[in-house]
């Protein structure tokens, strides 16, 4: 009787909340080579998740699968000083997008370890900033032979080495806040024949599959505000912008590829390839990945409403221009 009641309590209890706790360390891999010689503050950086993130340790259900896209942003990028100091780079993870389209954003993280070459680790300070190598020759000369003349000062080895992280570098990122995740794995239930008769009558409830994150249906005012930055583009460009925003990570990749002069990737969506002719526009779209992603989600869910919002913004802009010119003409007369 006790065992029967115990089984009934297990089946009737609500499933535990799928949470990735604060302090979890996520291994991520760089998609490209980065260096403090080229990076700028606020520049987006793309990674991918190197291992499955599971609930309850290594044996639980997969909450975030490996291969998920990870978007980071450069908080600080500083080169070494000409005579003192080391180069530094601080990257913080902003969001994770699974292959199925589930988005986890609003993350707070810091880097705790960097694996560079095999058996070699990059130095990370307690604030999560990656430090460049020490300029041993310069620092030794300064220590043993402090310059006393201008000639000696100019003869010193100058700027220290940059932080260089090659493609496929693995970084270990610590979560500073929990992630409430969705699990694709159904809870294990025993076969009805193995359960007591009283319990076997209870049909197990199916665990719903997670669906890609979608914005709630947006009001006209919200859509007007969302499309304002791009509403006045010509129709031919606007069409590609809206379609490209449904592929936000390709936009970031395209921007980085053009910045590094690698050219266009044939695997990108045709709309992203078309925007490669406008590098400044790609830069603006990749500067705010969250807004770009939300615009793409809105266009995918409410395409007609988005186009109506574009027309409203254009009409308002035209009326503003007309009203602004009237006083000028009257004053000149």
Residues 60, 173 within the same domain: yes
Is the pLDDT score of 196 beyond 60? no
Residues 117, 243 within the same domain: no
Tell me how far apart the alpha carbons of residues 287 and 185 are, in angstroms, rounded to a whole number: 35
Given 151, 180, 209, the domain boundary residue is 180
**141 token code pair:** 């000369």
Tell me how far apart the alpha carbons of residues 70 and 26 are, in angstroms, rounded to a whole number: 11
Is the pLDDT score of 300 beyond 50? yes
Residue with the larger pLDDT of the pair 91 and 139: 91
Residues 141, 245 within the same domain: no
Does a structural domain hold residue 40? yes
- Tens-digit pLDDT profile for residues 102-119: 788 888 899 999 886 555
Tell me how far apart the alpha carbons of residues 244 and 253 are, in angstroms, rounded to a whole number: 12
- Tens-digit pLDDT profile for residues 202-220: 344 443 433 445 557 888 8
Residues 37, 157 within the same domain: yes
Instruction: Report the number of secondary-structure helices (H) and strands (E) in the chain.
Output: 11, 15
DSSP lists the bridge partners of residue 77 as 89
**Does residue 37 sit in helix, strand or coil?**
coil
Does a structural domain hold residue 208? no
Does a structural domain hold residue 266? yes
- Tens-digit pLDDT profile for residues 234-265: 888 999 999 999 988 889 888 888 888 888 88
Q: Which of 50, 87, 86, 14 shows the shortest CA–CA distance to 168?
A: 50
CATH number, domain containing residue 37: 2.40.128
Residues 167, 272 within the same domain: no
Given 159, 180, 201, the domain boundary residue is 180
Does a structural domain hold residue 200? no
- Supply the range of the domain harboring residue 68: 14-180
Residues 230, 293 within the same domain: yes
Q: Among 2-16, 64-78, 139-153, 290-304, which is the least confidently predicted range? A: 2-16
Residues 126, 258 within the same domain: no
- Tens-digit pLDDT profile for residues 118-156: 555 668 888 888 888 766 555 555 556 565 655 555 555
Residues 247, 303 within the same domain: yes
pLDDT category of residue 311 using cuts at 50, 70 and 90? very high
Tell me how far apart the alpha carbons of residues 81 and 70 are, in angstroms, rounded to a whole number: 31
pLDDT category of residue 174 using cuts at 50, 70 and 90? very high
Residues 161, 231 within the same domain: no
Cα atoms in the 13 Å half-sphere on the side-chain side of 109:
32
Report how many domains make up the chain. Answer: 2
Is the pLDDT score of 86 beyond 50? yes
Does a structural domain hold residue 92? yes
Residues 59, 151 within the same domain: yes
Given 180, 207, 231, the domain boundary residue is 180
Residues 151, 225 within the same domain: no
Tell me how far apart the alpha carbons of residues 32 and 165 are, in angstroms, rounded to a whole number: 8
Does a structural domain hold residue 7? no
Is the pLDDT score of 333 beyond 60? no
Average pLDDT over residues 172-183: 81
pLDDT category of residue 328 using cuts at 50, 70 and 90? very low
Residues 27, 119 within the same domain: yes
CA angle 218, 223, 228 (to 5 degrees): 165
Does a structural domain hold residue 35? yes
**Does residue 91 sit in helix, strand or coil?**
strand
Tell me how far apart the alpha carbons of residues 286 and 1 are, in angstroms, rounded to a whole number: 62
CA dihedral 150, 152, 157, 159 (to 10 degrees): -20
């Amino acid at each position: 009787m006790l065992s029967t009641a115990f089984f009934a309590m297990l089946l009737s209890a609500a499933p535990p909340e799928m949470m990735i706790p604060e302090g979890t360390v996520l291994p991520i891999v760089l998609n490209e080579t980065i260096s403090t010689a080229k990076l700028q503050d606020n520049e987006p950086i793309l990674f991918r998740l190197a291992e499955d993130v599971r609930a309850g340790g290594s044996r639980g259900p997969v909450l975030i699968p490996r291969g998920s896209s990870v978007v980071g942003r450069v908080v600080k990028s500083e080169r070494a000083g000409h005579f003192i100091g080391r180069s530094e780079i601080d990257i913080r993870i902003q969001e994770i997008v699974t292959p199925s389209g589930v988005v986890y954003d609003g993350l707070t993280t810091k880097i705790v370890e960097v694996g560079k070459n095999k058996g070699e680790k990059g130095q990370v300070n307690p604030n999560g900033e990656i430090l460049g190598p020490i300029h041993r020759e310069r620092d030794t000369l300064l220590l043993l032979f402090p310059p006393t003349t201008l000639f000696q000062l100019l003869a010193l080895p100058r700027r220290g080495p940059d932080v260089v992280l090659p493609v496929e570098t693995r970084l270990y990122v610590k979560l500073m806040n929990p992630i409430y995740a969705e699990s694709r794995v159904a809870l294990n239930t025993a076969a009805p024949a193995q359960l007591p008769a009283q319990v076997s009558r209870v049909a197990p409830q199916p665990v719903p599959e997670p669906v890609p994150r979608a914005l709630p249906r947006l009001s006209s005012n919200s859509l007007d505000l969302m499309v304002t930055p791009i509403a006045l583009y010509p129709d031919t460009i606007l069409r590609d912008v809206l379609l490209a925003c449904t592929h936000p990570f390709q936009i970031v990749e395209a921007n980085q590829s053009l910045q590094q002069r690698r050219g266009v990737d044939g695997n990108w969506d045709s709309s992203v390839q078309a925007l490669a002719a406008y590098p400044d526009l790609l830069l603006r779209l990749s500067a705010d990945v969250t807004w770009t992603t939300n615009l793409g989600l809105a266009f995918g869910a409410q395409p007609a409403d988005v186009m109506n919002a574009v027309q409203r913004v254009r009409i308002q802009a035209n009326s503003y221009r007309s009203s602004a010119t009237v006083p000028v003409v009257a004053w000149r007369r």
